[in-house]
Amino acid sequence: MEESTMIKAFVKRLPELQGFHGEGVTFLDEHEAETISSNYVRLKTGQSTPEGCHDDEEEVYVITGGKARLILGDATHEVGAGDVVYIPRDVVHQATCISAEDFEYICVANWPDRLPKLTAHS
- In this predicted model, what pLDDT tens digit does every residue of 53-93 receive, in sequence order? 999 999 999 999 999 999 999 999 999 999 999 999 999 99
Which of 17, 63, 72 is CA-nearest to residue 42? 63
pLDDT of residue 121: 53
List the beta bridge partners of residue 107.
39, 61
CATH numbers and ranges of domains, the chain: 22-110 (2.60.120.10)
pLDDT of residue 4: 46
Q: From edge to edge, which strands make up the β-sheet containing 75-80?
A: 75-80, 67-72, 93-97
Q: What is the mean pLDDT of residues 22-33?
A: 79
Contact 87, 58 (CB under 8 A): yes
Which of 69, 27, 21 is CA-nearest to residue 49? 69
**The amino acid at 52:** G
Instruction: Classify residue 2 as exposed, middle or buried by CB count within 10 Å of its CB (0-12, 13-18, 19+).
Output: exposed
Q: How many CB atoms lie within 10 A of CB 86?
A: 10
pTM: 0.82
